[in-house]
Amino acid sequence: MVRHGTWALAYMLGVAAVGLVGCGPKVGAGSVDQPVPIGTVTSSLPTQSTAAAQPTRTTPTSAAATTVAATTVVVPNGVGMNYQAAQDAWRAAGLHVSPAVDATGANRLPVIDSNWVVLAQDPPAGTQVQAGSFITATVKKYTDK
């Protein structure tokens, strides 16, 4: 059986080996036989005049400029459903579900969502909203009076 320390040592040696591979001579740093003195800056890039180095600005034509329309969805009705089924319907429609509000005012959190019933939702069913919008349910336990 291999101990965790052995794996950690093998991992560290592998990282060190990869780091050493990247420490070879750099492009434009001279040959291996004739190293470049410390403090010397070399470049293998061709030089350009300042005017040639300036980028040219172009404006897109109307055919090239495209806009992406935001996707809208119709909010499904979750009122009367158990909270888990309502969440499934809302998420399938492309909505995010915010934490539920306890209808009794006790600020309880629905731990087992299927034991809670949805009394209200915001935004209401049938509303058209952008995909990814948040929906909040007001819920109570089935056993609450």
4-17 pLDDT, tens per residue? 566 666 666 776 66
Position 20 confidence tier, pLDDT thresholds 50, 70, 90: low
Cα–Cα–Cα angle for 138, 140, 142, nearest 5°?
A: 145
Residue from 105, 96, 115 nearest 138 by CA: 105
- Tell me how far apart the alpha carbons of residues 85 and 133 are, in angstroms, rounded to a whole number: 18
Position 40 confidence tier, pLDDT thresholds 50, 70, 90: low
pLDDT single digits (tens) 106-128: 999 999 999 999 999 999 999 99
Task: Note the pLDDT of residue 13.
Answer: 72
pLDDT single digits (tens) 70-97: 799 999 999 999 999 999 999 999 999 9
How much is the CA Rg of the chain, to the nearest whole Å? 31
Task: Note the pLDDT of residue 64.
Answer: 46
Task: Note the pLDDT of residue 145.
Answer: 86
pTM: 0.53
In order of 11, 29, 103, 140, the CA distances from 145 in angstroms are: 60, 81, 11, 9
Question: Which contiguous run of DSSP H or E holds residue 83?
Answer: helix 83-92
